[in-house]
Amino acid sequence: MANSKLDRIEKDIEKTRAKILELQSKLKTLEAQRTEEENARIVQMVKAVHIDQNQLAAFLSAYANGEIVLPQQPEEAFEETEQEDSENEE
């Protein structure tokens, strides 16, 4: 009887390990999807301001060095810009 209980526990341990591996894989996939979505949003924002690569680099460098400070802007403003851009493309 003790062996059957021990066997059940061992099976549960193996099932749990397998589930953990499955969930870790799912987590990794979801994190990658989140990163891709964040990157896509950044690209949309950059395209919305219509500046070239050199201007963007100069702006980011100035911001990183504290030469410019941006005002806080709510999320709705970005969504409005997105809608305007999609309307302009049509």
Instruction: Provide DSSP, 45-70.
Output: HHHHTT--HHHHHHHHHHHHTTS--P
- 72 and 37, same structural domain? no
Token readout for 10 is 């061992």
pTM over 0.75: no
Confidence band of 3 (pLDDT split at 50, 70, 90) = confident
Question: Structurally, how many domains does the chain consist of?
Answer: 2
Flag whether pLDDT at 90 surpasses 60: no
The pLDDT value given to residue 80: 60
Residues 6 or more apart whose Cβ sits within 8 Å of residue 40: none
- 14 and 54, same structural domain? no
Question: What Rg, from alpha-carbon coordinates, does the chain have?
Answer: 25
- 78 and 64, same structural domain? yes
Residues 6 or more apart whose Cβ sits within 8 Å of residue 46: 56
- 58 and 16, same structural domain? no
**Domain residues for 67?**
50-90
Higher-confidence residue of 36 and 90: namely 36
Q: How far is CA 48 from the centre of its chain?
A: 19
Confidence band of 55 (pLDDT split at 50, 70, 90) = very high
- 54 and 37, same structural domain? no
- 61 and 24, same structural domain? no
